[in-house]
Structure 1
Amino acid sequence: MDNDAILYEMYNDTYNDNYTYDEDVTLENVVFKPNSTCFKEVSCVALLVVNVLILLLGLSGNGIVIWIAGFKMKKTINTTWYLSLAISDFIFCACLPFNITHMATSNWIFGLFMCKFTSFAMFLNMFSSIFLLVIISADRCVSVMCPVWAQNHRTIQKASLVVTLAWVVSIALSIPSVVFRDVVSHLGKSVCFNNYTSHQYSHEMIAVSRLVGGFIIPFFIIFICYSIIILRLRTNNMTKSSKPFKVMTALIVTFFICWLPYHVFVLLELNHQNYDSEVIRLGFKVSTTVATANSFLNPILYIFMGNDFKRSFKNSVFSKMENALGEEGRTMSRYLSRSSSVDGRASTHI
């Protein structure tokens, strides 16, 4: 892909977080190339509709989770985890109207601050979500391996502190979006994009660090935690006690499926000259939309992954949500009590 093609794709791709602006190419070469609106392409219209649905479902679904877990339920360690996840998803969904408008008009009208903030919110959501999933997986692993210790030391205060640290790290890792995001205008057209021209290899370093720190390493830790959990449950013949991990497993699988395509296209874009520019352009649009969908799927999983779904389906949405979120805490308490008694019996034999 030559420089003209790269810049053309950058202007034509309103949802792309990765194409860089080549200062050797003048804006006059490309300013008339992008389509004036999204409505001339069927694929763009379809993605626009999907993003609007994600916006509506994400705000309403996560709003319900925040209301139930934050105000209607007793505060527990489990509600602390899921409340934080819901807040992260809600913030990201609240920024979608800006990106949807950008997609529809092919023109960024919201200024430099919102250009930086919307990109920052996307990666803050990505990092905070995966870090929270790692924390919950580690918490489950410790509860299985050391049930007595976990029952005595797992507190809401410690959970809140860990969540706060996860948010601080997520904010720090999302700062590059604020540093490199930029807006360029010419003849009435504005584009929000990543400007990596001031630092050599910054594009590659940021892309790889997001892949490794926000995807590969977290999932490696999660894989180890779940392997330990499964082996422990099978060893103790406590397969019925795996119910607390059902919602968590669904959240992890959903995050993996939603974010994997995005990271794949990030790597492909680093070597864009070896691939069809149209494939990369469309791939980024679709993969970014799929990643965005993760924000509205989480509250749906909370509602429909409960053990008593058939019975709770007859109840209100609020009752189903509370049942799904509260069920895990109740089952975990029963599991810890049962594990403690098993450990106690084992110690008497010794």
Structure 2
Amino acid sequence: MAQMNNITRSLLPPLPSGNETIVDNPTATAVGALILSIVFLLGFPGNLFIIWSILARARKQSVTTLLILNLAIADGSLMGLTPFFIVYLVLKNWVFGNVMCKVLFYLCLVNMYASIQLITLMSLYRLLAILWPQRVASFTGRKTVLRVLAVVWVLVMIASIPAMIFRRVKHKEKNISVCDSFHDYDSHVVIQYTMELVLGFLIPYTIIVVSYIRILRRIRKTKFGRRIRSEKLILAIVLTFCLFWLPYHIINMVQVTWALCPAGPVKTMLDKIWHRSRAVTSSVAFISSCANPVLYFFAGKSYIRREGLAFMARLFEGTALESASRKIRQNSQNCSREKEKDADAVMLKDKEADSVTNSSSNVKPVKNGK
């Protein structure tokens, strides 16, 4: 086996001498390995529990439930990959081969894209449920939602292909290998990381922010102006994803700036920044996938005594019922207005009838033609 590894390393392209890699900083790799270990212990069983709760305990799979199920699948898949990266950071050596280097980082990017796109769909669905509660059911049927989810997964798989193209293993001195993005031209760096920023952050977060601005404005105009639990929960998911993925995208932009910057002291400084920060910021990004089960736990803790292990399923059903109750309240408001109009019309008719009878009673009867 050792001889095979030596042969494999001899076939890998070497790194230029003096080039720094993302595993060269012992502090960064130690912190990254610690973060990933905690994330795995919390996030992997947590997301599996969410998937089990929805599939086995949910009485009805609403739109919100289906979106949360797919989000848990994306997060759980990402958590399942963390042991490989923990080993990589601890050993400071990629021992899994070139194919796994491409596949694992491709799957990471797929699940990153999937998570933010699913959160975007959640925000859009809440917006539709608030603005057009009577029409939302007509275009959010189960088949339609499943088709939309299938399209989302296909698109994120296509968008993640650059990770397989640019990611590969190279070997350093002392039989040490690294799995990193190696680009033949600086333009490749710009394309890959700008694409991640635009598709994985700027576009979806613009949609999310606009959606929640409209949602909050609409809620304030209604009598039921308080933000109910489902809005708070989804808003917490959105903010959590932004908090933990923002450092990763900032380092991406530092690397893009480094690629565009001419040779000089600034380029050297940027090179050190992104190399030394990549391991930590990538590990911090993984926290967002273990944070959602924690958020669901605190949001649904009122169900624990009553429902036991099914508390998570009842929570997701509750978020769906809140949308339905909003529709019922609005329909009841409309019905009450129509009833008031009908009552006013009846009162007018009664008044007219009374006036007619009163006028007829005032006319004296004529006797014997006189």
Aligned partner letter, 2:39? I
CA offset at residue 183 of structure 1?
1.2
What residue in structure 2 maps to residue 325 of structure 1?
316
Identity %: 25
Written as runs of structure 1 = structure 2, the 5 A alignment for 1:138-287 is 138-185=124-171, 188-197=175-184, 201-240=187-226, 242-272=228-258, 273=267, 275=269, 277-287=271-281
Greater Rg by CA: 2
Q: Hey, what does 1:47 align to over in structure 2? A: 32
Q: Do residues 341 (structure 1) and 336 (structure 2) align? A: no
1:29 is aligned, of 4, 7, 17, to: 17
* TM-aligned CA distance change 1:45 to 1:334, over 3 Å: same
Quickly say closer, same or farther: Cα 1:141–1:345, change in 2 above 3 A.
Answer: farther
User: Residue deviations 1:299-343, cap 9 Å, x none?
Assistant: 11111123xx3x435467723322322221121211122123334
Distance 1:347 1:217, change over 3 A: farther
Structure 1 residues 256, 346: closer, same or farther in 2, change over 3 A?
A: farther
SS at match of 1:109: coil
317-326 vs 171-180, which deviates more? 317-326
For residues 172 and 34 of structure 1, do their structure 2 counterparts lie closer, same or farther at Cα, with a shift above 3 Å needed? closer
Q: Secondary structure at the match of 1:206?
A: helix
- Alignment partner, residue 123 of structure 1: 109
Contact residue 299 and residue 315 of structure 2 kept, 8 A:
yes
**Is the Cα contact below 8 Å between 1:265 and 1:283 reproduced in 2?**
yes
- Count of residue pairs the alignment pairs up: 319
Q: Is the 8 A contact 1:258 1:291 kept in 2?
A: yes
Query: 1:96-115: per-residue Cα shift (whole Å, max 9, x none)?
Result: 11111111111111112210
CA displacement at 1:344 relative to structure 2: 4.8
Q: CA distance change for structure 1 residues 157 and 278 in 2, over 3 Å: closer, same or farther?
A: same
What's the offset of the Cα at 1:212?
1.1
Taking the aligned partners of 2:166 and 2:108, their CA distance within structure 1 comes to: 14
CA deviation map 1:191-216 (0-9, x unaligned): 1111221x561210111111111101
SS in 2 for 1:107: coil
Deviation of 1:30 (Å): 4.3
State whether structure 2 residue 69 is matched by structure 1 residue 83.
yes
TM-score computed with the length of structure 1 as normaliser: 0.83
Shift in CA distance, 212/43, structure 1 to aligned 2, threshold 3 Å:
closer
Cα distance, 1:220–1:42 mapped onto 2, change above 3 Å: closer
> Does the 8 Å CA contact 1:151/1:336 hold for their aligned counterparts?
no
User: Which runs of 5 or more residues in structure 1 are unaligned?
Assistant: 1-22
TM-score (norm 2): 0.79
- Describe the superposition over 1:181-235 as per-residue Cα deviations: whole angstroms up to 9, x where unpaired: 11123552221111221x5612101111111111011111111111111111111
CA distance in 1, matches of 2:160, 2:21: 29
- Counterpart AA for 1:29: S
